[in-house]
Amino acid sequence: MLTKDAIQRLFTGGERSIGGTVYGTIVALATLTAGAAAGQHPSQLLFLVATTSGAIWVAHVYSHGLGESIERGHRLDRAEFSSLAGKELPILLAAAAPTATLVLGAVGLVEESTDIAIAFCVGLAALAVQGLRYARVERLGRLGMAAIVAANLALGLLVVALKVVVNHH
């Protein structure tokens, strides 16, 4: 059974989840970019983002499982594999907020272009939050915190810029 602390860590992440969350958010934004550039409806984008994130998570769990198995000199048992899958879960969870946002457009509560823009903003906000978390864990000063948040946002905005370039060609 999950404790309150375990549930909180699942949604807010622990120190080790920052990298996976950033990676998963970039995957979600890139998928959203590709789908939006292709003119996909929010319901289709929702499916694309969720399934792509799921496939990336499975690939990470599988490939890391192979590596761990080789390093340990034996096939992973169920507990070792479950632990590994849990460590990679932030990749999958990072897609939850942008995907949930896309539900608004899929059911017609928000105009399609607005919905997609909101999903991008949610992803960018997640990148900023992960930058803040990293700065806190590493005890960076204000300048270091600003730099890491800026770097995360720059990476996310690079994906958004790619969307603009793709849409105009």
pTM of the shown model:
0.82
Supply the range of the domain harboring residue 139: 19-161
4 domain-assigned: no
Q: What's residue 158's pLDDT?
A: 87
pLDDT over 90 percentage in the chain: 49
Q: 């789908």: which residue's tokens?
A: 35
Would the pLDDT of 108 be above 70? yes
- Over 60: is that where the pLDDT of 6 sits? no
Domains contained in the chain, number: 1
User: Would residue 128 count as lying in a domain?
Assistant: yes
pLDDT per residue as tens digits for the range 126-161:
999 999 988 988 899 999 999 999 998 998 888 778
